[in-house]
Amino acid sequence: MARLRTATATSAGGIVVRYEGDIPSLVLGMRRRERDRVTWALPKGTPNAGETTEETALREVGEETGLEVRITDRLPSIQYSFVQRGTRIYKTVHYFLMEPVGGDLSAHDHEFEEVRWTRFDDAADILAFETERNLVMSTALRLADPTTPVAAPDDPSQHPAAR
């Protein structure tokens, strides 16, 4: 059996939060993966040359959601691996807690077919990847009680598709 080549990759993104009264919502985006399959995910993407992790997160979230955002805190990173074109890629995605300061979801780019606000309570049923569900659930607990630390997602075998 041939051994796969290996590589590493990094992305950055965010959980964008707004409140309606006391109820927090976050932004999720939907992609079509196959003819009839869709996946809902957090906005994220890869850095441009010379960008910091924070700059990448702000740019990618802005492009993919249509929102202008600001970072309010750092969240745990997610790590996973996947195989693409004969190479096993070990990927780290750095996440930030964000709030919208302008823009509009209708201005999102082509990477997501649909972008919408979703209540944290509903996100676990919508998000495609367990690592993202775990991060969102621990972020919801932290928003409810700011003294609660956000736990790192604990299942690296669940992975978002490569970008």
The verdict on residue 135 lying in a domain is yes
Q: How confident is the prediction for the chain on average, in pLDDT?
A: 89
The reported pLDDT for the residue numbered 156 is 43
Q: What is the pLDDT of residues 54-105, one digit of tens each?
A: 999 999 999 999 999 999 999 999 999 889 889 999 999 999 999 999 999 9
In a domain, residue 59? The reply is yes
User: Number of structural domains, the chain?
Assistant: 1
- Does residue 163 fall inside a structural domain? no
What pLDDT score does 150 carry? 66
Q: Give CA–CA dist 139/151, Å, rounded.
A: 8
Sign of CA dihedral 73, 144, 140, 150: positive
Distance CA 10, CA 98 (A): 19
Residue span of the structural domain in which 32 resides? 5-144
Instruction: Let me know how long the chain is.
Output: 163
For residue 153, the model assigns a pLDDT of: 57
Instruction: State the pLDDT at residue 155.
Output: 42
Tell me whether residue 19 is in a domain. Answer: yes
Q: From CA 132, how far away is CA 145, in angstroms rounded?
A: 20
CATH number of the structural domain spanning residue 119: 3.90.79.10
Per the rule left: phi > 0, alpha: psi between -120 and 50, beta: everything else, 154 is alpha
Residue-level pLDDT at 144: 87
Residue 95 lies in a domain: yes
Q: Is pLDDT of 134 > 60?
A: yes
Does the pLDDT at position 154 exceed 80? no
Ranges assigned E (strand) in 46-110 = 67-74, 78-84, 87-103
Q: Global pTM?
A: 0.86
Tokens of 20: 């309606």
Domain-embedded: residue 160: no
